Amino acid sequence: MGWAERFVECEGFQWDAANAGKIWERHRVAPIECEEIFFNHPLVIGEDERHSAAETRFYALGQTDAARFLFVVFTMRGKLIRVISARDMSRKERKVYQSS
């Protein structure tokens, strides 16, 4: 099963409390904001091949309900999305997102 099929079958999110705290401390991104981007359009998803040694990682470019543009790195654990990192999009990422 390819990653697109796994993503379509997603049933929710899995959070590590320490990791969620790190994302908040470093980038002021709340878990709910990370989750929101997966329900808003457009959503750009790609495989993060450079950082996929231990497990397959993906990145997502998306927008929160409050129109904040986020770059989110995640992996799939079974049918759950596990966010690894999140931050505001760079200027270059925003151009890619807005052209989709």
* CA gap 64, 23 in Å, rounded: 16
Q: pLDDT tens for residues 37-48? A: 999 999 999 988
What tokens appear for 3 in the block?
């990653």
> How much is the pLDDT for 55?
80
If phi > 0 it is left, if psi is from -120 to 50 it is alpha, else beta; for residue 78 that is: left
Distances in Å between the Cα of 66 and the Cα atoms of 8, 37, 50, 54 are 24, 10, 30, 34
pLDDT tens digits along 54-92 = 788 999 999 999 999 999 999 999 999 999 999 999 999
Joined together, the tokens standing for residue 27 give: 């980038």
Which residue range forms the structural domain that includes residue 25? 3-98
Which region among 17-21, 29-33, 49-53, 90-94 has the lowest average model confidence (pLDDT)? 49-53
- Write down the pLDDT at residue 84: 95
Mean pLDDT of the chain: 91
Q: Is the pLDDT of residue 51 over 70?
A: no
Specify the number of domains making up the chain: 1
* Residue 8 burial (CB count, 10 A): 9
Q: What is the CATH number of the domain that holds 21?
A: 3.10.450.530
